[in-house]
Amino acid sequence: MNAAPKTLRHLSDLEATGLAPTDKRAALERVAAQYAVAITPAMAALIDPADPNDPIARQFVPDPAELAVQSEEHADPIGDNAHSPVNGIVHRYPDRVLLKLTHVCAVYCRFCFRREMVGPAAEPLTAHQLDTALGYIAEHPEVWEVVLTGGDPLVLSARRLKQVVSRIAAIPHVKIIRLHTRIPVADPARITSELVRSLKAKGKATYVVLHANHARELTTAAREACARLIDAGIPMLSQSVLLAGVNDDPQTLGELMRALVECRIKPYYLHHGDLAPGTSHLRTSIERGQELMRVLRGRLSGLCQPTYVLDIPGGHGKSPIGPTYLSQDEAGHCLIEDFNGGLHCYPPPAQP
């Protein structure tokens, strides 16, 4: 009887499956010693070992380029720590908080903005820390939404998730519970009926945001996992990261957005790459991102249009950085650019 495929966590596993070259072992050992490695069977099955530019491999297989840290890169590139009043909470925006239950993920992305903090060695919130975090939420009536993140909250058991969701739902002023996850694509079998039920709470709206960066990630099993959530009444959104060599061309990015919409998942954010250490080889320019968004606007349904955002380094929050279509002529008339590049005048309101 053949053993079930296992998550690849060590260089020897990657070498045995042809995903890591043996002649780069010394450099890759240094990468793996600093940043966590895990590739689930579902993701490993999508990688073509013969393709040196495989877009799935670029996301998960360690690369010696990660050892090159640029001066502008930072261990906390989006400033979580500056907005963390208690362990596990990030309160950057007035009406919502992040609740980081765990620092473990099913897969570890090579571009992760929390790559210095996540991994199997990281400690989860203790019972006391969770009590304190939930107490903070309860004491701040402006908090309308709680976003469960990490790590990946869906690595936790259905029982554990149900406990946490129930405790959040007991806070009257919290109306929205949102979970950010890779699990439906990274380990679709984990999305069981029991887990789906654990995410719902009477009187509260639950949303799940899927992280996917390439249409190939949306396998039949992944689509079925997402359907289990959506059919249970949990709306799904998506977040993707613009990555060099993964999705930074119009066809690939468009295929991803269409695939998401076909799965009844609304594209939400397209993130510009964060300044995480050792990730410069995966970042594009903002100008390239704006160009891609222009192409998507002209070619694809409005359902397929995410908001292109930059999480401003230092903890200043997300800002839309998509292209603008509005300018003014010398007379003060608004000029609107259409998706073909034509300019059209829109007059100012008539003066009384």
Query: Distance between alpha carbon 122 and the CA centroid of its chain, in Å?
Result: 20
Give the whole-angstrom CA distance, residue 10 versus residue 261. Answer: 35
Active site residue 92: yes
Give the start-end residues of each E strand in 165-298: 176-181, 205-211, 236-241, 265-271
**DSSP secondary structure letters along 313-338:** TTT--EEE-PPP-EEE-TTS-EEEE-
Give the whole-angstrom CA distance, residue 303 versus residue 300. Answer: 8
The single residue of 93, 175, 228, 264 carrying the catalytic annotation is 93
Active site residue 274: yes
The single residue of 76, 110, 112, 152 carrying the catalytic annotation is 112
Active site residue 299: no
Residue type, 40: T
Encoding tokens for residue 126?
A: 């203790």
Active site residue 311: yes
The single residue of 24, 175, 200, 318 carrying the catalytic annotation is 318
Active site residue 318: yes
The single residue of 25, 96, 200, 288 carrying the catalytic annotation is 96
Active site residue 108: no
Give the start-end residues of each E strand in 14-88: none
Encoding tokens for residue 175?
A: 């109306």
The single residue of 58, 100, 110, 114 carrying the catalytic annotation is 114
Cis peptide before 151 (omega within 30 of 0): yes
The single residue of 92, 100, 190, 216 carrying the catalytic annotation is 92
The single residue of 63, 100, 109, 226 carrying the catalytic annotation is 109
Give the whole-angstrom CA distance, residue 213 versus residue 247. Answer: 7
The single residue of 178, 269, 274, 283 carrying the catalytic annotation is 274
The single residue of 54, 100, 105, 263 carrying the catalytic annotation is 105
Residue type, 157: S
Q: Within 10 A of 299 (CB to CB), how many other CB atoms are there?
A: 13
Residue 288's Cβ-count burial label (10 Å; 0-12, 13-18, 19+) is middle
Give the whole-angstrom CA distance, residue 286 versus residue 268. Answer: 18
Give the whole-angstrom CA distance, residue 243 versus residue 52. Answer: 16
Phi, psi of 84, deg, nearest 5? -110, 90
- Point out the residues that are catalytic: 92-93, 96, 105, 109, 112, 114, 274, 311, 318
